[in-house]
Amino acid sequence: MNNQDNSLISDPKGKIFDVSLRILMALIGIFLLSIGTSFLLGGHVGTPPFTATNVGASNMLHIGLGNFQLAFNLIILVVVLFLDHSMIGIGTILNMVLVGYIIQYGNVWYQNTFATNHHMGLLLIIGDLVIGMLLFTFGASLYMCADLGVAPYDAIAPIASSRLHIKYKTARVIQDIAFMICALLVHGSVGVATFVIAFFAGPLINYWTIHVSRPVLHNIHLIAENKTKIRRLGSSLKQAGIISYKTVISWYRETLQTQLSASRYSNHELDEQLDIAKNNLLRAQKIYKSMQDEYDVLTQEKKRRLDATNEKQ
């Protein structure tokens, strides 16, 4: 929990409202990271080390992923409660209970939605990897920034770091490598994404945190002080969710269509399609730069006004 911002809310009802919105934020994050993992699992590009271990073990024992991951999380939770219960919160319980089941049924949705992809080519695999990574890291950022407790698995490294007097990063690397080895032993869903998430997902999660999650959290604190803004926030979140969903589905289907059509292009047509794709990419980069510049200008103006207000006070 962001105690510094939340402590500014004096009204008890406002604090309850603040926590309720952060629970919603955590739930959205859990859903997104789980669906992202479903893309990684369905695309056979690898899943996070903990999930990879659970997938392999649940398959070996003929148990549903949701049931197995919940049971495994309960075991870890008991240990964490004994060693450092301060890391546990409502977010811990939500993560522990929901993630495995959402991945399990999300994978069923993936198979039913993209069942035509019996022979996946390189473009489709890249699509699964990119979409899965974006959703996973975005969801993880929202969930962690809500600050309502860490997942049982994520509590292991901080506790080990404190108890064994080693750096957190060292403890986390050892933990992830250990679970990757376990996943390999039980024939879990280990792939390129397993290594990418274990060692390189941090910068992307940090990007989402700076540009999306922290601003959302800041607005949650403001809304908790002034509930009249909730309608505008709800409308914005709904619109953002619809746009994000349609964009992801559109990207995926375009990737699939490109994969299916590529084999039928002549060499000349293939060169033309490459030029079109390159031009589209350049235009997208220009649009992104323009939006980034606009964001920077607005941020500077907001800072200028806050500074001016503080000087008057």
- Is 86 among the domain residues? yes
Regarding whether 278 and 169 lie in a shared domain, the answer is: no
Least confident of 3-7, 180-184, 225-229: 3-7
* Same domain as 270, residue 207: no
At 303 the pLDDT is 74
CA pair distance 288, 230, nearest whole angstrom: 29
Query: Is residue 256 a part of any domain in this protein?
Result: no
* Mean pLDDT comparison of 13-17, 97-101, 221-225, 304-308, highest-scoring range: 97-101
Residue 228 lies in a domain: yes
Closest to 30 (Cα-Cα) out of 146, 124, 123, 109: 146
Domain count, the chain: 2
Average pLDDT, the chain: 82
Residues in the chain: 313
**pLDDT band, residue 4 (cuts 50/70/90):** very low
260 domain residue, yes or no? no
- Is 255 inside any structural domain? no
pLDDT of residue 148: 94
Least confident among 25-39, 172-186, 228-242: 228-242
Q: Are residues 140 and 289 in the same domain?
A: no
Q: Which of 248, 274, 301 marks a domain boundary? A: 248
In-domain check, residue 298: yes
- Which of 2, 3, 15 lies closest to 225 in space, CA to CA? 15
- Do 277 and 199 reside in the same domain of the chain? no
pLDDT at 1: 43
Q: Which amino acid is at 188?
A: G
In this structure, the answer to whether residues 271 and 240 fall within a common structural domain is no
What is the per-residue pLDDT for 191?
93
In angstroms, how far apart are the furthest CA atoms of the chain?
70
- For the chain, the three-class secondary structure string (H helix, E strand, C coil) is CCHHHHCCCCCHHHHHHHHHHHHHHHHHHHHHHHHHHHHHHHCCCCCCHHHHHHHHHHHHHCCCHHHHHHHHHHHHHHHHHHHHHHHCCHHHHHHHHHHHHHHHHHHHHHHHHCCCCCCCCHHHHHHHHHHHHHHHHHHHHHHHHHCCCCCHHHHHHHHHHHHHCCCHHHHHHHHHHHHHHHHHHCCCCCCHHHHHHHHHHHHHHHHHHHHHHHHHHHHHHHHHHCHHHHHHHHHHHHHHHHHHHHHHHHHHHHHHHHHHHHCCCCHHHHHHHHHHHHHHHHHHHHHHHHHHHHHHHHHHHHHHHHHHHHHHC
pLDDT for position 80: 94
> Does residue 122 belong to any structural domain of this protein?
yes
Q: Is 247 exposed, middle or buried (0-12, 13-18, 19+ CB in 10 A)?
A: exposed
**Higher-confidence residue: 113 or 255?**
113
pLDDT, tens only, 102-154:
999 999 998 888 755 555 577 778 889 999 999 999 999 999 999 999 999 99
* For residues 257-265, average pLDDT: 60
Cβ–Cβ under 8 Å, residues 21 and 142: no
Please give the share of the chain, as a percent, with pLDDT higher than 70: 72
**Inside any domain, residue 253:** no
Does residue 133 sit in the same domain as residue 229? yes
Are residue 277 and residue 238 in the same domain, yes or no? no
- 6 pLDDT exceeds 60? no
Tell me what percent of the residues of the chain surpass a pLDDT of 90. Answer: 49
The average pLDDT across 201-221 equals 89
Whether residues 142 and 278 share a domain: the answer is: no
pLDDT digits (tens, 9 = 90+) for 8-49: 455 566 678 889 999 999 999 999 999 999 999 998 999 999
- 10: Cβ contacts below 8 Å, ≥ 6 apart: none
Do 187 and 282 share a structural domain? no
In this structure, the answer to whether residues 171 and 198 fall within a common structural domain is yes
Q: What's the mean pLDDT in 74-98?
A: 94
Predicted pLDDT at 255: 65
Q: What angle do CA 261, 266, 271 make, to 5 degrees?
A: 90
Residue 270 belongs to domain spanning: 265-313
Last residue of a domain, one of 194, 219, 248: 248
Among residues 248, 276, 292, which one ends one of the domains? 248
Same structural domain, 116 and 169: yes
How much is the pLDDT for 137? 94
Q: pLDDT value at position 228?
A: 46
Same domain, yes or no, for 159 and 283? no
Pairwise CA distance, residues 198 & 205, whole Å: 12
